[in-house]
Amino acid sequence: MDRKAHGAALCFRCGPDGRDRYVWALGFGRRRTPILGNSILEGIGTALLIPPVYILTTLLFTDLTSRARAFGVIMALGGIGAAAGPLIGGLITSGIGWRAAFMLQALVVLVIVVLSRHIEDPLPPDPARPFDTRGAVLSAVGLVLVVMGILAADDNIWLMIGLLALGLLVLYGFFRSIRAKERAGEEPLLSTALFRSRTSNLGLITQNIQWLLLTGSSFTVAAYLQVVRGYDAIETGVIFTAATLGLLVSSLAVERLAERRPQRTLVIAGFVTTLAGIVVLVALAGGSTNPWALAPGLLFIGLGLGVMLTPSVNVVQSSFPEEQQGEISGLSRSVSNLGSSLGTAVAGTILVSGLTHGAYAAAMITLAVIGLGGLAAAVALPRTQAKGS
């Protein structure tokens, strides 16, 4: 389904609707086989759901301040959901059962579907526009192979090299495909014009690394608390409230910060704060057995991520006119999703690499090094941004 052909509002409604049907099947089903399709169907639902949120927010909030406020609220609510999910899920699973946890998800999704009926698409859809199926398949296969290559690093170095090379080859074929369509006057899945904006490219790099840091650090800390410290999901979720609190506070403060400081400054400050949080986390975790010793580092990580997620989205979205918001929103979310996958893949690969001492610290330090790359991209952002730059 193409957001340009069917409209952002319709895609927003279809995303949770498809996910809802699947979750109901899990809740009532007697076999566990459907669980194998969880990642695929939830991924499709997310692909339909999240980018339209970016599109609608960008189109409905035209000035920078109101858009920052809107994205700040979205990020804050996302942080609350991320923290409440493990806690609520752990409580329900422990007290009732895992099926009940899926049923609660279904009810939440149903509420979203009902509320989405009142959303009007600011741009009329064009069902006559074609969809680039070949491009969609090539891009998906290429990215999956790249992530699988990273995951294979701890098992077989040659398999890793082979998967990475094959993934890059498929992605090269994808870009050849879209270039061929553009030369033939056809509409590809992704326009190469989206990569001609230096500001947007740098913003996409910061987005990718932000989500890499978010998922990578969350995965590493959660594994450390449960494997090394022996905490259950509920206790782990309680400790993670420090990061959620930081994310919530800084996300809600982005609106006022955007009035006083440039987007570039906020992104730089976010990376600096997040990297400082990783340093504090590693230092205190190794020197104390008290679980709350992790709280200061997690708080800094949450504050840093919350203050820069919204400005990075603004930088990318504001680089293009309204008619390209569908494409850039899809690309933006794809880059963020890739960062999320890479974060878990990189951290997980290090944790199972066979290191007997310091594996968790090594994973966090690796994430910090990657974060320095994000900081460099943020510093390279222009001090002032013009529309379509």
Q: Taking 50 as the threshold, does the pLDDT of residue 123 lie above it?
A: yes
Asked if residue 389 belongs to a domain, the reply is no
Query: Under 8 Å CB-to-CB from 148, ≥6 apart: which residues?
Result: 163, 167
Instruction: State residue 332's pLDDT score.
Output: 84
Q: Once rounded to an integer, what is the mean pLDDT over residues 312-333? A: 80
Tell whether 200 and 349 lie within a shared domain.
yes
What is the domain range of residue 325?
A: 3-130+189-380
Tell whether 44 and 157 lie within a shared domain.
no
Q: Taking 70 as the threshold, does the pLDDT of residue 3 lie above it?
A: no
Instruction: State residue 162's pLDDT score.
Output: 92
Query: What is the per-residue pLDDT across 170-225, written as a single tens digit (0 to 9) for each?
Result: 999 999 999 998 888 888 878 888 888 899 999 999 999 999 998 899 889 888 88
Tell whether 86 and 40 lie within a shared domain.
yes
Instruction: State residue 85's pLDDT score.
Output: 67
Asked if residue 386 belongs to a domain, the reply is no
Instruction: State residue 280's pLDDT score.
Output: 93
Q: Taking 60 as the threshold, does the pLDDT of residue 282 lie above it?
A: yes
* Domain end point (choices 116, 150, 183): 183
Phi, psi (rounded to 5 degrees) for 232: -85, 180
Instruction: State residue 64's pLDDT score.
Output: 65
Asked if residue 340 belongs to a domain, the reply is yes
Tell whether 14 and 152 lie within a shared domain.
no
Tell whether 164 and 296 lie within a shared domain.
no
Instruction: State residue 6's pLDDT score.
Output: 46
Asked if residue 388 belongs to a domain, the reply is no
Contact 278, 217 (CB under 8 A): yes
Contact 330, 3 (CB under 8 A): yes
Tell whether 236 and 194 lie within a shared domain.
yes
Tell whether 270 and 164 lie within a shared domain.
no
Tell whether 32 and 174 lie within a shared domain.
no
Q: Which of 345, 64, 358 is nearest to 219 (CA)?
A: 345
Tell whether 16 and 152 lie within a shared domain.
no
Tell whether 7 and 117 lie within a shared domain.
yes
Number of domains in the chain: 2
CB atoms within 10 A of CB 355: 14
